[in-house]
Amino acid sequence: MPTTRFDISLYKNIYFLGIGGIGMSSLARYFNQNGLNVGGYDKTSTPLTTILSEEGIKVHFEDLEENIPSEFQSKENTLVIYTPAIPAKLGEFIFLKDTGFTLKKRAEILGIITENSIGLGVAGTHGKTTTSTLLAHILDQSSKKCNAFLGGISTNANSNFISTIDAEFTVVEADEFDRSFLQLSPFASIVTTTDADHLDIYGDSNTFLEGFKQYAKKIDPAGFLVRHVDVDLSHPNTITYSFGKGGDYFGNNAVFRDGKYFIDIQTESSLWPKVEIGLPGEHNAENAVGCVALCQKLGLTENEIRLGLATFKGVKRRFEYHLKNQNSIYIDDYAHHPTEIGAFINAVKKLYPSTEITAIFQPHLFSRTRDFFNEFAEELGKVDTIILLPIYPAREEPIEGITSNALLDAIKSESKMVLQPEEAINYIKNKKPQLTITIGAGDIDKIVCEIKSVLT
């Protein structure tokens, strides 16, 4: 018998658990823009939840358990969307589930929303937020346009949701956490990397890779897979890309001149010389090459693609400059996996080869810190001064022996310390380093403005 597809139009109210999450908030904005009654819970107030409130979305920060707002009490008219990152013991989650409300994960809803358009997924352990945001920007400034649900705040759009009514394409970030990307069935997809991560979910690297193989099978056979040359995935229509490693599309000859970053890009049919890339760093150049490959296959012209690449201003918390003058440089980045951290630090060193780097890093998750303990120690040892904040637990309980102090002991650096956030701010205030970087995916962003202030 044919399956009946879930009908979102039956609901007037959309209630979010974890509404302040970067991916969840883009969905909240989508439903709010479409005239539905939207509200929800999140653990803490952030600048993003403040923006949601200003847009008319009802947000609260206390676990109300069975006392959720009365306008969302009707289970017939209310759809509950939740993130797998919320704790299973959350009172509201337990109440809504036990009372018989319809609960759906974010990825399920994205899959449904994108059914009536040409879905473009961007997957990968690293780089998917920058790549999906760049892809959305190129499409948005072209004749094609798009809708996009992003995992970061686009600096160009100042939003994680880009919308053009009746746009042909929908860009979605295909998140491997909790196997969420298996809810999607994109027409085409970029896959940046398949380095092991989320081993608390997958168990081992082979199972993790198998998740990506299952995702590749969900790409439309009439569409195509754009994958990095190091990614071991297959599809009937596969295009490979890289920076400096060959492939169907590849970039090389990176030059940083007059504050701008240029590369040459070899496409399947021609050489594009001196392509301006909005963000520095070979990892960003590589993401750009993947977008070039996909956009050419979608029918965009060289001029449209070049314009999109040159005008891209990046993503909040992805190589984001907060200060850049003769006295002080301050860059913030979301990197939280050793490979991402290494790429970020290497990019900073290439831009400022003779300047000492002071880094503040907040480890994200006890399990990730345990699983990549030695790799974290190696990458973090590449800066001149490393400051570790306590591990951000997110959804996890502590793991015995896995602490920032233990990680510090493994880092081979003469200048290293573990500090509380306020202590780290005071250290920066007193030392006034010429080059400061903050790294991490937890709540380290809460101290970014204060660090900028004490450096100014």
Residue 434's domain is classified under what CATH number?
A: 3.90.190.20
Same domain (yes/no): 196, 49? no
With tokens 């209630």, the residue in question is: 15
> Does residue 1 lie in a domain region?
no
164 with 272, same domain: the answer is yes
Asked whether residue 36 carries a pLDDT value surpassing 50, the answer given is: yes
Structural domain boundaries, residue 132: 117-311
Q: Model confidence over 234-277: pLDDT tens digits?
A: 999 999 999 999 999 999 999 988 878 999 999 999 999 999 99
Q: How far is CA 37 from CA 28, 34, 104, 112, in A?
A: 10, 9, 17, 19
Assess if residue 111 is contained within a domain.
Answer: no
Task: Give domain status of residue 4, yes or no.
Answer: no
Both 99 and 124 in a single domain?
no
Do both 276 and 381 map to the same domain? Answer: no
Number of structural domains, the chain?
3
Model pLDDT, residue 3: 44
Please give the share of the chain, as a percent, with pLDDT higher than 70: 99
Q: Is the pLDDT of residue 191 over 90?
A: yes
Give the tens place of pLDDT for each residue, 335-363. Answer: 999 998 998 999 899 889 999 999 999 99
Report the pLDDT value the prediction gives residue 2, as an integer from 0 to 100.
39
300 and 425 both lie in a single domain: no
Find the mean pLDDT for residues 76-87.
91
- The residue with greater pLDDT, 205 or 24, is 24
Instruction: Identify the CA nearest to 170 among candidates 116, 218, 212.
Output: 116
Q: Average per-residue pLDDT in the chain?
A: 93
| Mean pLDDT of all residues in 86-109 | 93
Looking at the domain assignment, is residue 213 inside a domain? Answer: yes
One domain for residues 131 and 71: no
Using 50, 70 and 90 to split pLDDT, how confident is the model at 1? very low
- 2 within some domain: no
| The pLDDT of residue 5 | 67
Give the residue, 417 or 114, on which the prediction is more confident.
Answer: 417
User: Can you give the pLDDT at residue 86?
Assistant: 87
The model's pTM is: 0.79
